[in-house]
Amino acid sequence: MREVGFVVGRTSTKWVTVRLEEEVLINDLVLVGDELLGVVRGVSYANPTMSPYSPFTPTNVEAVRAYEYLNASVELYGSLVSGRFDPRVLTATPTGTPVYKVEKGDLENLRFIEDPIFIGEHPSSGWPLPLDPRAVDYHIAVVGSTGSGKSHLVRILVRELVKVGRKVVIFDHTGADYAPFFKEETVPDTDVFPDMLSLAEVMANKVLGKEYLDDVEVALYAYLYSEGDVGKAREFMESLGFGNGQFDMSTILELRDKSPMGIGWDDESFIAILRLVMGYLKRREHTVAKSLFRLVKSGISLGSFNGRRYGIDDLVDLILNRDLTVLDISSETLPIRYGIMRGVVSGLMERAERSGERLDVAIVVDEAQVYARGQPPTEALSDVARRGRKWGIGLILVSQRWVSDLDMNIRANINSVVFSSLQSSSDLEDIGKVVSLGSIDIGVLGTGDFYITGLLSPFRRPILVHTFGEYHE
């Protein structure tokens, strides 16, 4: 360590002012005395001769410069005691205390976090910043504008979590940020059979109209029960109490255990069954005709779902039986993507509750603004945000913005934020309502530079980190 100045003026347990004898930069780490670790938040010149109240009249530039001095504002992070870090400062620092700049290697023998993970290093000191993997249980938001390096950071974070025993599932929105880097672990959405409600939403909302969602969903269940046989589909509807039939509970129980991947899907058979169902639901003949015509004209083919390898339960099994799973959800329509995410997230919670055991799963949602506010997966993600830590299920939500892109119930349960340059100045203020920010400047951040704050950081307050290069490096 190298001495750079000494403490002057009024001090507190949070801030000190340092008279500098050598230059320091914003975000440099410093040691105040022998025990207090802090970070430089601001640097300013002062000159008593230039005060409007000073009687001194400078005669030349050299005379003015002779009275200049440099001050630094240092935010105190905590204390170093017996080789360990304590994020508390219990007493004010005496003036005159020497201040040292932390350099490479100065902190590496100190203990900050038990069994830490690493995604990058503090820029000026080169210190690999230890992070707490247990913070995933309390949910993490990764926020930054396009090009800030969010996806690269998450890829490193995911590998580190796997090293400490976490299972990770990534929902890759574009198919370009994670799937190419984890090819062996990737499952394309075209290999997944969505839940029936999502399939019905696609067919109703995109073709027939939302008012026909019930017709399509019931027709899908009738097809599943009958395996495309119109006669058996009629028996199904009668067993539900339609027409002259009487309600039979065994029909529903039989349907509950039937997999949609175990049958063949045929468009003509489904159209015939849909017409049958709409008749039972008392739709007018011209409405039925119009709906069938629109469905045929839309080009949507149930046959495209034949041969898919995974149902939702199969995906949950896959996630729990290997370290990392990437779900490339870039090919299907949004309702199908919504259905896959909603089904998997809800399935993980149900599996945990049924087993009564911790799953230790981290759920990464890329472009979370598309899924975590006002969309079908939002309720499932909100449930994880509220109750997931009991079962070791945590969220890592990757988004370009903060307040406008995440549901309020999700946002209120996030306890760590990793952020870079932001799209709106109001975002920083909103982040500060959830985690401690202090006085930071995001204008100094470049690609790969992130502030980390909350439970993930040993300091609980923002610390700057520059992400490592490719993971193998």
Per-10-residue mean pLDDT for the chain, 473 residues long?
89 91 90 92 79 65 71 91 87 92 86 90 90 95 86 94 96 94 94 86 78 90 92 92 84 82 89 93 90 83 88 93 96 87 93 93 94 88 94 93 78 89 67 67 78 90 87 52
Secondary structure class of 327 (helix, strand, coil): strand
Q: How many residues does the chain have?
A: 473
pLDDT in the model for residue 53: 67
- Token digits for 35? 């025990």
Output the CA angle 263-264-265, nearest 5 degrees: 120
pLDDT in the model for residue 200: 86
Q: Are strands 98-101 and 324-328 parallel, antiparallel or unpaired?
A: unpaired
pLDDT in the model for residue 129: 92
The residue with tokens 């780490």 is 29
Q: How far is CA 398 from the centre of its chain?
A: 4
Rounded CA gap, 272 and 229, in Å? Answer: 9
Does residue 397 contact residue 142 with C-beta atoms inside 8 Å?
yes
- The CATH number of the structural domain formed by 133-192+311-467 is 3.40.50.300
- Output the CA–CA distances (angstroms, integers) from residue 79 to 73, 186, 371, in the order listed: 18, 44, 41
Q: How many CB atoms lie within 10 A of CB 226?
A: 20
- Token digits for 320? 């729990």
**What Rg value do the Cα atoms of the chain yield, rounded?**
30
pLDDT in the model for residue 110: 85
Domain ranges across the chain? 2-111, 133-192+311-467, 196-305
- Output the CA–CA distances (angstroms, integers) from residue 424 to 249, 318, 431, 441, in the order listed: 55, 39, 12, 14
pLDDT in the model for residue 328: 96
pLDDT in the model for residue 376: 84
The residue with tokens 């985690």 is 435
Rounded CA gap, 427 and 396, in Å? Answer: 18
pLDDT in the model for residue 83: 84
pLDDT in the model for residue 396: 96
pLDDT in the model for residue 438: 65
Does residue 139 contact residue 381 with C-beta atoms inside 8 Å?
no
Does residue 178 contact residue 425 with C-beta atoms inside 8 Å?
no
pLDDT in the model for residue 404: 64
Rounded CA gap, 220 and 270, in Å? Answer: 8
pLDDT in the model for residue 461: 85
Can you say whether residue 36 is alpha, beta or left, with left for phi > 0 and alpha for psi between -120 and 50 degrees?
Answer: beta
Does residue 331 contact residue 175 with C-beta atoms inside 8 Å?
yes
E strands in 139-206: 140-143, 167-172, 186-188
Amino acid at 422: L
- In sequence order, what are the residues at sequence separation of 6 or more whose Cβ sits closer than 8 angstroms to the Cβ of residue 394? 136, 137, 138, 139, 140, 361, 362, 363, 384, 388
Q: Which residues are paired to 467 by β-bridges?
A: 120
Q: Which residues are paired to 407 by β-bridges?
A: none
